[in-house]
Amino acid sequence: MKKWVLSGAAILNSDKTSERVYITIENGRIAYAGEKDTGIKDVIYTDGIISSGLINSHDHLIGNYWPKVGNGPYENWLPWDNDLKSSPVYQERQQIENRDLYLLAGYRNLLSGVTTVSDHIPHFVAEPFYDIIPTKAIRNYTLAHSISSFYLAWGDGIKEEYQKALEQDVPFITHISEGFDDETVANLVTLEKLGALGAHSVLIHGIAFSESDMDLIKKRGASVVWCCDSNIFMFNDTTNIKMLLDKGINVCIGTDSPMSGGLNLLYEMKFDMKYYRKKYGEELSDDTIYRMVTENPAKAFRLYDNGSIKEGNLADLIVVRDRGGSYQNSVVNAELKDIMLVVINGMPVYGNSEYASLFKGCNVNYQEVVVDGVEKVVIGDLVGLLKRINRAVGFKKEFPFMPVEY
């Protein structure tokens, strides 16, 4: 099918939902999204909720393994990294080829409805794998590992990387203020002095952000990525999320790698809601969370044709089971089994087995698997991957983010 239509109840953007939308998909993009039936014959009707695909704003794909390693709270990221790299779990992970770690990370994200993930790693490490993973990683970015003097030597230097980001109109991504030592606490001021704090800056963590740091972030138009589970695990603390939101800063949600952070983005959203309720005694609204995994990251990472359902945008779509409340509520509370369909660049890549005919119609090779007790179809060879991992480590390795029967 060169041209097909997905029809059902949909969240077009965080301000607009509709009970019946026809989304025409052609050449990987949304050619039409509206309430009138366009008369095209290949229509897939769904009783789920259609949404723009989810964006995971922070991950390290090569580090997608399990369980978590660490014995915090730490003062900054370095002693955690040392604990990680000297751990038996890390040794176990080292038995697996990088290609398979990337595939595992791709499937972990895909199964949770993530159509785009920000992989924080130097380009030369990751580039060989972006064409083989079943979800999309953001390819255009510049980066630093962090702002401290003990950073990993990623990129060409903070000033240079920020300059490149401006010239290419791509995000400059860095860990920042992740800990409590004097240098880490001063990270934001250091970044400003280097001339690298601006609308292109995507700031990961920000645990130590002060109110004046946040005022400067707002003034400069930078974005912040909140990785709450990872922060609580490593530092027993996280950024002042309420203050960030109250100041109107563009905030996104990331899982970080599952060796420190959330199992997947669905889990992370629930963790964040629970944390917020416990910390502030009030609810973080479904709508706020929804924006943090769709429109906000599209803005932060300068993905101008993503993050909402509108004509011209990439056809990155998910369908989730209708929970009966608001449409956003169905997305932010979805479990793995509730992800009914994932479409990336207009092609089906994962979904309930009832959508197998769509895969056939689009000439997508798929495998039948049972995920979280539900019969699904998925692009590529997920079972083969899991078997290769078992062979590499010498036993049947279970991942809670991948409850696949095989």
Give residues in contact with Zn ion (CB under 5 A): 256
| C-alpha closest to that of 342 among 118, 106, 139 | 106
Minimal distance, residue 78 CB to Zn ion, in Å:
13
Helix (H/G/I), strand (E/B), else coil: 96:
coil
Tell me the pairing of strands 16-26 and 43-52: unpaired
For 379-389, b where at least 16 C-beta lie within 10 A, e where not — what string?
bbebeebbebb
- ∠ Cα 138 143 145 (to 5°): 115
Nearer to Zn ion, 250 or 255 (CB): 255
Helix axis angle for 123-130 and 98-111, nearest 10°, is 70
List the structure tokens of 111.
């199964």
Nearer to Zn ion, 225 or 318 (CB): 225
Nearer to Zn ion, 32 or 151 (CB): 151
Which single residue brings its beta carbon nearest to Zn ion? 256
Please list, in sequence order, all residues whose beta carbon lies within 8 angstroms of the beta carbon of residue 354, skipping any fewer than 6 positions away: none
Minimal distance, residue 60 CB to Zn ion, in Å:
6
What strand order describes the sheet that includes 317-320? 29-34, 16-26, 3-13, 43-52, 317-320, 339-344, 347-352, 374-379, 366-371, 404-405
Helix (H/G/I), strand (E/B), else coil: 235:
helix
Nearer to Zn ion, 51 or 109 (CB): 109
Nearer to Zn ion, 256 or 338 (CB): 256
Using CA atoms, how far apart are residues 255 and 287, in angstroms rounded to an integer? Answer: 19
Minimal distance, residue 118 CB to Zn ion, in Å:
10
| C-alpha closest to that of 53 among 288, 302, 362, 347 | 347
Nearer to Zn ion, 23 or 62 (CB): 62
The residues that bridge with 378 in the sheet, in sequence order, are 350, 367
Locate tokens 């078992």: which residue? 390
Q: How far is CA 280 from CA 57, 209, 255, 277, 284, in A?
A: 24, 18, 21, 6, 9
Minimal distance, residue 339 CB to Zn ion, in Å:
24
Q: For 149, which DSSP code?
A: T
Helix (H/G/I), strand (E/B), else coil: 150:
coil
CA Rg value for the chain = 20
Minimal distance, residue 145 CB to Zn ion, in Å:
9
Locate tokens 């915090």: which residue? 72
Locate tokens 């101008």: which residue? 304
